[in-house]
Amino acid sequence: MTPQQVEDILRRHHPARADLMDPPPYRFRTARRIDNNEIYVIHRETAQAQVRLEFPDGQYDDSLVVPSSIYNSYFGNSMSSVVFQELREARALAYSAGANYSLGGRLGAENLALGAIGTQNDKAVEATFAFIDLFDNMPASQERFADAVAAQDNRYRAGAVNFRAIPGTVRGWQLLGLDGDPRPQRFAQLQAMSLEDLLQFQRDHIAGRPKLISIVGDTNRMDMEALSELGTIRQLSVDDVFVK
């Protein structure tokens, strides 16, 4: 069918009422701003401690799409990434480890950097120190950078939008203020990226930011005094988190 035929059918079978209300303005959700590291701890007698780091980083900027995608591949969301290789493979500090720089989903939405590890309770503090050090002092590797770029290159070359995803994909571009398909321009930007560009992204958007640190685990097996060196600790109960 042509678009006009589809529109005629929809108008005939799903007529819009004349008194439709305007949708309410979109409610943006933003992270609380902090000046220094804050640590929230919940004591649970679990086999593993779960550690999460997060901090906001401004609003959506289309120029960050390519560098942030390389950063995610390089730093935190694959088995060859810095976080996985350093915390799990090289230092045996975590069962699972990952990190991600998440761009806002529409114009005006907030970007958020996230990290999570699952570790032994008695290694939780050491793992948290190591995790923060990786965020702030990301090691540079030309080989790992080349792998990260290759992964994104393959994604552009092979990642076709199937027909069912076209409406949602186009609507997503519109919410980001884009006029048309941004992938050709992003692909060209990817080819021009260098390791120094990635390191500059890390310095500008990741390193040295105050972090909200959340830990769930057996605090009897953690060095809480050492943990306090990272920031102010606030011990919570489950009831403090889940409102009844």
Give the end-to-end CA distance of the chain in Å, rounded to a whole number: 52
Q: What is the reported pTM?
A: 0.89
Whole-number pLDDT of residue 17: 78
For 41-83, how does the pLDDT look when each residue is reduced to its tens digit (9 = 90+)? 999 999 999 999 999 999 999 999 999 999 999 999 888 899 9
- Mean pLDDT within 221-240: 94
Give the Cβ contact number of residue 66 at 10 Å: 23
φ/ψ region of 108 (left if φ > 0, alpha if ψ in -120 to 50, else beta) reads: left
Rounded CA separation 224/220 (Å): 9
- Answer whether 93's CB lies under 8 Å from 130's CB: yes
pLDDT value at 126 more than 80: yes
* Domain chopping of the chain, boundaries: 30-241
- Answer whether 101's CB lies under 8 Å from 72's CB: yes
pLDDT value at 106 more than 80: yes
pLDDT band, residue 16 (cuts 50/70/90): confident
Whole-number pLDDT of residue 20: 82
pLDDT value at 132 more than 80: yes
Q: Which CATH number fits domain 30-241: 3.30.1360.200, 3.40.640.10, 3.30.830.10, 3.60.20.30?
A: 3.30.830.10
